[in-house]
Structure 1
Amino acid sequence: MSEVASAKEKKFNKLITIVSVIVPVVVALLFGVKLPDVERLGFLPPIYATVNGITALTLCMAVLAILRNNKKLHQLLINICIALSLAFLVMYIAYHMTSESTVYGGTGTMKYVYYFVLISHIVLSIVIIPLVLKTYSFGYLGKYDKHRKWAQFTFPLWLYVAVTGVIVYLMISPYYPIT
């Protein structure tokens, strides 16, 4: 590996570490902030759930593109997935800064299923940040063998996070306050 490539990778790694720590911390901090005198953004949950669904479909399309050796389409679709994930994050934070958290009202086994899906979704949404960024950086740097190896773990976890985002919404949506 050349010194230039090594320096680029070191810069990426530093940025990945910073983003991977800052994003969850900022989200956690902002989750507790409620903006006074701001209209509740109760219309956002179905929108960001839809964004999660589109992300899941786009991730699958990206895998199909690379399996068909269409690298340009694969890269475009992955860039779209990252943009969709950022859009989700912004909407999610905006909603929670203007609205109280909704409590799941189901009972029995479904309550345990809901909390399992929710907790695994939250934990993996934190884990997926460095995985996506590291996998992306390998592709960007032309380290395709490493990119493929990392993508084997990153893709199913990212897909799980996107799909469970939709499932969490569908399970809690009956309990949202009527606006």
Structure 2
Amino acid sequence: MTVRDIPTLNATFNAIATVLIVTGFVFIKRAQRETDPARRAAHVRTHRALMLSAVVVSALFLVGYLTYHGLRRGAHTPFGGTGAIRTVYLIILWTHIPLAAAIAFLVPRTFLLAIKGDFVRHRAWAKWTFPLWLYVSVTGVLVYLFLYRWWPAA
């Protein structure tokens, strides 16, 4: 593995996180509708396992991201697209960056509330964290595709 492989690995981590986040959301919604206590508990356990996995995968992404940019000493990766697609890319990038910074706070905070058993506050935070985390994960993959696969700089 070389430094040039890290963006692909990071995009893979983001894609996996996306699947885990969505699946975790599905299971907690199933738990909320479940009338059988045993099945409800099973759905909650599955939700916890999926969300813990999403946190771990996202943490691995962050390590990879920081490693990549540290090894490249902040070198810029130019976007090769022009015209309207450049505008689309920049809108995605400019929304992704500040929301990714927010997620670095929101995810651990939401996770900590669940660990503490403060589920009322956990749910209140998760209403914001879930859609933002999902957006950041999806747009992270899109940024990778735009930069390295669809419109790489010449």
TM > 0.5 fold call? yes
Q: Distance in 2 between matches of 1:40 and 1:75?
A: 34
- Runs of 4+, deviation exceeding 3 Å: none
Q: Indicate the SS of the match to 1:42.
A: helix
Letter of the 1:63 partner, please give it.
F
Give 1:132-151 correspondences, 5 Å limit: 132-151=107-126
Q: 1:51 aligns with which of 10, 13, 20?
A: 13
Q: Deviations over 1:91-143 (max 9, x none)?
A: 11222223333100111111111111112111001111221122112211211
Letter of the 1:98 partner, please give it.
L
Q: Distance in 2 between matches of 1:105 and 1:124?
A: 24
1:64 aligns with 2:39: no
1:164 aligns with 2:139: yes
Q: Distance in 1 between matches of 2:60 and 2:109?
A: 20
- Identity across the alignment (%): 37
Letter of the 1:67 partner, please give it.
K
Residue 21 of structure 1 corresponds to which residue in structure 2? none
Q: Deviations over 1:66-104 (max 9, x none)?
A: 122211111111111111111111111222223333100
Letter of the 1:64 partner, please give it.
V
Q: 1:121 aligns with which of 90, 96, 115?
A: 96
Letter of the 1:41 partner, please give it.
V
- What is the Cα-based RMSD across aligned positions, in Å? 1.7
- Structure 2, unmatched stretches of 5+, are 32-42
1:78 aligns with 2:51: yes
Q: Distance in 2 between matches of 1:76 and 1:85?
A: 14
- Structure 1, unmatched stretches of 5+, are 1-38
Letter of the 1:120 partner, please give it.
T
Residues 81 and 153, structure 2, Cα contact 8 Å, conserved in 1: no
Q: Distance in 2 between matches of 1:129 and 1:98?
A: 21
